[in-house]
Structure 1
Amino acid sequence: MPATTTTTRGAGLSAADLAALRKHVVHTADGKLAASAAAKPRTVDDFATTADDVRRMIDEDLAAFVDQRAKKTPAGETPAPVPVLIWAHGGLTDKSAGLLTAQRQVGWWKKNGVYPIHLVWESGFKTTLQDVLRGKAGERGFTDVTDLAVEAAARVLGGRKFWDDMKLDSAGSCLPSVEGGDPGGAFVLAAALREYMAANPGAVELHVAGHSAGSIYHSHFVPRLFEGDDRVESVKSVTLLAPAVRVDTFEATLLPLAETGKIQDLAIFTMDETHEKRDNTAGVYRKSLLYLVSRAFEAERDAQILGLEEHLRRSGRTMAYLGDRGERLVLGPIARGRRSSTQATSHGAFDNDEETMMSLARRVVGVPDSNEPDRLTVFPARSRDVVADVTPAPRAEPTAARGATPRKRALCIGIDEYPRDPLGGCVADAQAWSDALGKAGFQVESIHNQEATRDRILRAMLDKVSSSRDGDVVAIQFSGHGTFVPDLDGDETDEFGRRDEALCPVDFRDGQLIVDDDLGAIWDAIPEGVSVTLFFDSCHSGTVNREITPEEAEARTTPPGAKKRMTVLDADEEARFRAERAAALGDPFRAAAWRQVVAVETDRAAAPPSARADGREVLISACQPDQVALETNGHGVFTSAALSVLAKSPALTYRDFTAAVVDIIDDAYEQRPLLSAAGALGTRVLLSSAGDAAPDASAAPAAAAAALAAAVSGDGQRASAEVRTAAIVAILRATADLLEAGAD
């Protein structure tokens, strides 16, 4: 396991330090300034910024600094504009760390003739990221599995919501007043700067820099400087360090300003592709944070991120501006002159790297790239204080050793004890599946009733999938309620529109539901050579189809003695679901901020990508998308039929197995099981290893005939209709396969 040390955030910030920082820090929480603030804060918690503080910072503190610099100008010369540097930290930085960064930089910038303003915005994202990737106390983390599994964990266990919250806070900080409320903190700052510059032409020049998610903040902030009658003429420079902003957001906000010269010099410092992929995030993910953002935290998988070289090079428009390797694009680590050097070899290192920060300072101060001494004070880089500083331990991919015996592993989930709408056959289903799979050689883990929370189910599923190795066979069974939830992946995520189908854990009424995206992320983490079969006995097809509405489902006739495994959320429960899954939009200000976020994400996926073509999972679900799953006689209708066929004909292919189950159910219930399998997976033998030989189509009719013969008992009497039907279906299917093969 990784070695971990913890230090206290905010250590070393005295009351005097905090008082001094009030001249240089604009602190916002949820995008807003404070209503009141202590003039002499004694602790980090006491530190706050009001609108009056922002205006005082510009009209008094900045003005005084400009006057002091003017006094040093030789007589008869016009004072040069004073550089003002506006800094936005990254999203993994909390309030204490943001203040520490400001405290370390402020004196250095001022010694070099620059007035710094630090935007410190609260974000709980780092703690959330660590909780998501490592698991909660006492639970299994994900330090011994693949990066795909880490991406799946990050997406389904909370990372997406907090990334959206962070983007919302950055956009909200730059909003004007909404419905008579207070404007965002950065909006107040932009207005104060515009007013000062209009009243004092030529006194200052603006420079903007942001690290990581600070680039998202500045994508909303910089355009505010060009608004109103007092708009600024230009921003001297914008420098983005390892930017986590989406390419589409950048091209909708900052790039047009650079292309038209309103931003005179825009540059990006980031790692080259090789070093991005050598980086490590939180001790468990063996790439930089930017890859995790792209693959797990954005609305769509593989969203294009500005700081990733491979994504940059796909953007013709952005690269047309940046050029290949000029001063506008610095791909490190590299030593290329005094203005374009960086030795940062991790995503978090750029704002603490001497070469990077000195290159930035020379651009801000205007030092040319020459051999002449620049006389700048050297950046005071030092070891960064971090929470849970992790030294990653090596971890192996879950591949089988040569000659290792394939393992059979199963997870059986059944929930009857729902708070308001209990069921009566789901735990019995799970126990029956456990018995059947156990007899087939599977090691079975069971989760029933109150244990079956969303977090427990998803972690158990991911554990079974991601820790498997080449040749292993995994079976996952679920019996419980299904339901419908608002689709939160479309562009208009502030309005309930289309609906997704969802599985209902025991805590689903608290917003804890499992939707198709969750399952798809887990199935994407299936290692090569691992066979995964899913048996879902609920009203959830496991597909992206939405062919039935909640109203239609409730109106379906239920046969006497049967019960629907389907429930409907009320408005409060839908709101709780949304609050658990996406940025909370509980007031007009946050709703407006989210509209601003989405408006500049022009390539944002309107829906999640469909299942990959080479999917390795096979799903047999209880019903079609426009049907409901039923339970009767103490079991699910699907489970009873499926286990009957499994017991009597275990060697059927997935396709023939599903057909046999359909044949049993069709006569009695309006419920038709559905097989979802990519490519040729449907023709493989049920619960077989991926390494097993596929059935030979030319021999299949004979094998099926043998199965039919075996269905006749020793005394000449035929076995059950279910087995007879399964064998006949097998013959027909195999014959069709043979004809297809002959046609080829």
Structure 2
Amino acid sequence: VLLRQCESAAIAHSAAAARSVAYSYADLRPHVVSLGNDGALRPGGDYGTTAAELREIFEVDMPRAMAGWPEKHVLLYAHGGLVDERSAIQRLADYRSVMLEAHVYPLGFVWHSDYWSTLTNILQDAMRRRRPEGALGAASDFLLDRLDDTLEILACTLTGKASWDELKENALAAGSTPQGGARMALDLLATLATQMDIKLHVVSHSAGAIFQAPLVRLLTAPRKTIASGYLKGETGYGLQVETCTLWAPAVTTELFKQAYLPALTAGGIGRFALFALSDKAEQDDNCARIYNKSLLYLVSRAFEDSAFGEGTPLLGMEKWLARDPELSQLFTSGKADLVFSPNSNPEGSPTASRSTRHNDFDDDGATLKATLARITGAPAPAATEFQFHHSSSSLRARREAIDRSARDVAT
């Protein structure tokens, strides 16, 4: 893991400018909540989190870091479902220095999804089965003409839906169950909010929007038992989320309406923004150079409940937003911003994004600066630069390697 090292020692919470690139467990540990099966805290390893370490983050590290800040911004970040642990940690390291300098404390939920490897294996297996044998024999000509349609059927059959369902269950359990690690973090965050005047922000990428759904619902619900709807019977925290920014969210429009929309309607979310690929960019994207559209198309058409055909409506897809009157009204009401990418809006403005693929958003400088501008309420300074490090285990490096092997499978 490469880290932009600040001047101060130990936890290095100073807002001083970065001076060098180095590895430091002590610097990153206060920004990581590590989660495992069923969304529970995951101890052990380089960046595991125990209950005691989680308490230390909220009771010691965060107050110490934000003590001298005139405005104390806390960012809850959830990475996408394709990301492995090392890549998730590296991304937090890439965000950390710039965020701290802007008086934003990033706290990342590392939920050990790494769905990319599973997805690639499923698609490669589907490609191998394209040969005219067994039940696929009659479909071989059709497969050549409509490869994506056939891959959707195969991917769903070859454990694709089951794997996606398991990913979602772990993501939701982290916040919706009392023993979930994210739920434990919310308890500590609520206590911290009684001791310091903090401004709370939520950012997620792809399946991270599924992970954050119960968190947003609980954070913004009034401090009493939720009487109806999503998470009925649970107790809300009554906190304000100043900004909520979703990058290419893989959450269904149904879950969005259950978990996020009540807060938008009631004012529990101050400013909301959805960043999404244009439908053209979505269709120009690919998964492992086998499926010839974006991940969201594959999830919508193969892995969700209304698989095949038009698929299940996902919030991050332009085609579904245009067809939903309730969402169309939301994004024209002034309560929420809709940003399609790629665009040429000035870098540093809150609507800039240069992302051309589903996986681009979390390391696209324009998107990060736009998100930071939304959090701080001011355009990102011209000198603001996020430095992204792509190790051999990063999603981008792994995707390129998988693309090469996938081409071999397809020939």
Alpha-carbon distance between aligned partners in 2 of 1:22 and 1:383, rounded to the nearest angstrom: 20
Number of the residue aligned with 1:41: none
Distance 1:394 1:63, change over 3 A: closer
Q: What's the CA shift string for 1:195-240, capped at 9, x where partnerless?
A: 110233xx21001000000011111111222354682441101000
Number of the residue aligned with 1:199: 195
Alpha-carbon distance between aligned partners in 2 of 1:64 and 1:11, rounded to the nearest angstrom: 24
| Structure 1 residue 105 displacement after superposition | 1.2
Alpha-carbon distance between aligned partners in 2 of 1:83 and 1:174, rounded to the nearest angstrom: 21
Number of the residue aligned with 2:284: 278
Distance 1:380 1:22, change over 3 A: same
Say which of 260, 264, 272 aligns to 1:258.
Answer: 264
Contact 1:133–1:150 (8 Å) recurs in 2 = yes
Per the alignment, in what secondary structure is the counterpart of residue 98 of structure 2?
Answer: helix
Number of the residue aligned with 2:137: none
Task: Indicate yes or no: 2:19 matched with 1:18.
Answer: no
Number of the residue aligned with 1:149: 150
Distance 1:394 1:319, change over 3 A: same
Equivalence map 1:3-14=2 (5 Å): none
Per the alignment, in what secondary structure is the counterpart of residue 378 of structure 1?
Answer: coil
Distance 1:51 1:193, change over 3 A: same
Alpha-carbon distance between aligned partners in 1 of 2:383 and 2:214, rounded to the nearest angstrom: 31
Say which of 349, 361, 373 aligns to 2:372.
Answer: 361
Alpha-carbon distance between aligned partners in 2 of 1:285 and 1:150, rounded to the nearest angstrom: 7
| Structure 1 residue 336 displacement after superposition | 2.9
Distance 1:130 1:377, change over 3 A: same
| Structure 1 residue 47 displacement after superposition | 2.3
Per the alignment, in what secondary structure is the counterpart of residue 22 of structure 1?
Answer: helix
The residue type paired with residue 192 of structure 2 is: Y
The residue type paired with residue 211 of structure 1 is: H
Distance 1:15 1:107, change over 3 A: closer
Contact 2:271–2:336 (8 Å) recurs in 1 = no
Task: Indicate yes or no: 2:328 matched with 1:307.
Answer: no
Say which of 181, 187, 190 aligns to 1:185.
Answer: 181
Say which of 112, 124, 130 aligns to 1:134.
Answer: 124
Number of the residue aligned with 1:159: 160
Number of the residue aligned with 1:214: 208
| Structure 1 residue 187 displacement after superposition | 0.2
Distance 1:93 1:213, change over 3 A: same
The residue type paired with residue 164 of structure 2 is: W
Say which of 317, 320, 326 aligns to 1:317.
Answer: 326
Contact 2:73–2:200 (8 Å) recurs in 1 = yes
| Structure 1 residue 18 displacement after superposition | 2.8
Per the alignment, in what secondary structure is the counterpart of residue 23 of structure 1?
Answer: helix
The residue type paired with residue 362 of structure 2 is: D
Relative to the length of structure 1, the TM-score reads: 0.45
The residue type paired with residue 196 of structure 1 is: L
Alpha-carbon distance between aligned partners in 1 of 2:383 and 2:182, rounded to the nearest angstrom: 29
Equivalence map 1:116-515=2 (5 Å): 116-135=106-125, 146-177=147-178, 183-200=179-196, 203-226=197-220, 228=223, 231-301=237-307, 302-323=311-332, 328-337=337-346, 338-367=349-378, 374=381, 377-381=384-388, 383=390, 385=394, 386-389=397-400, 390-391=402-403
Alpha-carbon distance between aligned partners in 2 of 1:217 and 1:341, rounded to the nearest angstrom: 25
Equivalence map 1:11-90=2 (5 Å): 16-30=23-37, 31-34=39-42, 36-37=43-44, 45-69=45-69, 79=70, 81-90=71-80
Q: What's the CA shift string for 1:102-150, capped at 9, x where partnerless?
A: 11111221122210000100124211111111129x9567997711122
| Structure 1 residue 82 displacement after superposition | 1.0
| Structure 1 residue 374 displacement after superposition | 3.0
Contact 1:83–1:115 (8 Å) recurs in 2 = yes
| Structure 1 residue 273 displacement after superposition | 0.9
The residue type paired with residue 33 of structure 2 is: V
What count of residue pairs does the alignment treat as equivalent? 358
Q: What runs of 5+ residues in structure 1 fail to find an aligned partner? A: 1-9, 38-44, 70-78, 178-182, 396-462, 468-744
Per the alignment, in what secondary structure is the counterpart of residue 152 of structure 1?
Answer: helix
Contact 1:174–1:187 (8 Å) recurs in 2 = yes
Higher relative contact order (CA 8 A, sep 6+): 2
Contact 1:257–1:263 (8 Å) recurs in 2 = yes
Contact 2:250–2:314 (8 Å) recurs in 1 = yes
| Structure 1 residue 335 displacement after superposition | 2.4
Alpha-carbon distance between aligned partners in 2 of 1:313 and 1:269, rounded to the nearest angstrom: 15
| Structure 1 residue 388 displacement after superposition | 4.5
Distance 1:356 1:54, change over 3 A: same
Equivalence map 1:532-571=2 (5 Å): none
Alpha-carbon distance between aligned partners in 2 of 1:249 and 1:323, rounded to the nearest angstrom: 21
Alpha-carbon distance between aligned partners in 2 of 1:188 and 1:394, rounded to the nearest angstrom: 41
The structure having more radius of gyration, on CA atoms, is 1
| Structure 1 residue 328 displacement after superposition | 0.5
Number of the residue aligned with 1:95: 85
Per the alignment, in what secondary structure is the counterpart of residue 316 of structure 2?
Answer: coil
| Structure 1 residue 17 displacement after superposition | 2.6
Alpha-carbon distance between aligned partners in 2 of 1:324 and 1:232, rounded to the nearest angstrom: 24
Alpha-carbon distance between aligned partners in 1 of 2:287 and 2:164, rounded to the nearest angstrom: 15
Per the alignment, in what secondary structure is the counterpart of residue 355 of structure 2?
Answer: coil
Alpha-carbon distance between aligned partners in 1 of 2:377 and 2:181, rounded to the nearest angstrom: 29
| Structure 1 residue 382 displacement after superposition | 5.3
Q: What runs of 5+ residues in structure 2 fail to find an aligned partner? A: 5-20, 132-142, 225-235
Alpha-carbon distance between aligned partners in 2 of 1:388 and 1:379, rounded to the nearest angstrom: 22
Contact 1:267–1:322 (8 Å) recurs in 2 = no
Alpha-carbon distance between aligned partners in 2 of 1:394 and 1:223, rounded to the nearest angstrom: 40
Relative to the length of structure 2, the TM-score reads: 0.80
Alpha-carbon distance between aligned partners in 2 of 1:387 and 1:29, rounded to the nearest angstrom: 22
